[in-house]
Structure 1
Amino acid sequence: MPDSFKTADQTYDAILKALHHLIEVVAKLRSPDGGCPWDLVQTPETLIPYVIEEAYEVVDAIKSGDQEAITEELGDLLLQVVLQAQIASESNHFSLQEVAQGITEKLIRRHPHVFGELEVSDPDEVRQNWEKIKAQEKGKTPEQTQLLTYLLKRYARSLPPLMAGMKISQKAASVGFEWDNVDGVWQKFSEELAEFKEALETEDKEHQQAELGDLLFVIINLARWYGLDANDALQETNLRFIKRLSLVESFVERPLSDFSLDELETMWRKAKATLREQGE
């Protein structure tokens, strides 16, 4: 057993015991005999939002550097893994054992420079070899996995839409799908904004949705041209909005719904000014 799995107050056996207890608790929550009504009605699909939410909360905790928060959020994410496996095992699809075995075998298979005889010289060579092995596993040739559409489909399938949009625009630009200058991007933005406004005048929700997507994609491209991260920008705006709203709530002792729009606007401007004075 690697020494890294041992600490002054924790042993490998203790880790296994804790994991086993978690598995038992989840199984009890899903038990038709005395289980939790909420857990019992969950499906793999209904749990998708929680998987995404917990992953983001892990990232937020890591960024904060708060070790207690990181521990808690990793636990919440681990719960989602165990719960998905528990639900699958109830239908005899797969079990947590197969999940663990699968990732272990994959790690060994994709690290022949650690578990085999292959020698590598740097991280870039590791990455290239990883992609080669990954292609073989999926029955693809290295050439097929290097096709632009193969990469873009992977981004669209596995990343949050805003991050996927940035990756897709970057990769497309790298092979020539690019404007000559930023003026062309601004022109495209004006076109898409006009088309979106036009679509809103119709009753066709599908068309409206499509035009909104086109407009957002152009905004992502504008961010790329100016060296900005659209995902981080939106996250900062979300947090800034919440901070201002929290300050507004601190100004009053009644629900915000009791106030008129003009009153809310006045308090909002006050909150912005207060935060500005505080350098936030």
Structure 2
Amino acid sequence: MGKEIRVASRQKEKASILRGIPKNLPSLVLAYRLSQKASQKGFDWPDLSGVLKKMDEELSEFRDALSLRNRRRIAEELGDLLFVLVNVGRFLGIDPEKALKGTLKKFSDRFHFIEDSLRQAGKSVRQSNLIEMDRLWEEAKRRKRIRSK
């Protein structure tokens, strides 16, 4: 009995602190939880400036990968960049999942404005061009700012 307890105790010591985090979580949530757990054990930057420095480093590596046109490396560096952005959010107390959902709603609202405006002008998105759609995008942003005041 004593030997079983010692073995179980040693196995528990070897178990990763990351082990209890479900791997089927949405990626942004999983990234947040993994970095949060690691931080609790001291594996973290001392302050926001360290994370921002890492973000700059990852962005530079992403740009390097783009210039090499190596899709595998581009995907890897994009993942690294996304992960460090999750950590920026964690340092600021911002849930990355909620932040992205807010941005996606904003994008959808603006794009719907573009579609509606074009429809009122008797056009479709396919009949428009980027210059016209960008002008409408800026108009949607302007109207939102006015409504928010």
Structure number with bigger Rg: 1
Q: Which amino acid aligns with 2:62?
A: F
Aligned equivalent of 1:263? 132
Residue 232 (structure 1) shift = 0.4
Aligned equivalent of 1:200? 66
Report SS of the residue matched to 1:258. coil
The answer to whether the Cα contact below 8 Å between 1:199 and 1:208 also exists between their aligned partners in 2 is yes
Q: Which stretches of structure 1, 4 residues or more, deviate above 6 A after TM superposition?
A: none
The answer to whether the Cα contact below 8 Å between 2:55 and 2:85 also exists between their aligned partners in 1 is yes
How many residue pairs are counted as aligned between the two chains? 138
For structure 2, the 5+ residue unaligned runs are 1-7
Say which of 165, 174, 177 aligns to 2:40.
Answer: 174
Aligned equivalent of 1:143? 12
The answer to whether the Cα contact below 8 Å between 1:196 and 1:212 also exists between their aligned partners in 2 is yes
Q: Deviations over 1:151-209 (max 9, x none)?
A: 3xx43x22111110000010000000011111111111111100010011123211111
Say which of 97, 122, 127 aligns to 1:231.
Answer: 97
Matched, 1:219 2:85: yes
For structure 1, the 5+ residue unaligned runs are 1-139
Say which of 48, 51, 56 aligns to 1:185.
Answer: 51
| 1:1-280 matches, cutoff 5 A | 143=12, 147-151=16-20, 154-155=21-22, 157-253=23-119, 254-279=123-148
Report sequence identity in percent. 32
Q: Which amino acid aligns with 2:126?
A: S
Q: Deviations over 1:203-222 (max 9, x none)?
A: 32111111111111111101
Residue 267 (structure 1) shift = 1.0
State the distance in 1 between where 2:64 and 2:146 align: 41
Report SS of the residue matched to 1:207. helix
State the distance in 1 between where 2:112 and 2:14 align: 48
Report SS of the residue matched to 2:148. coil
Q: Which amino acid aligns with 2:39?
A: A
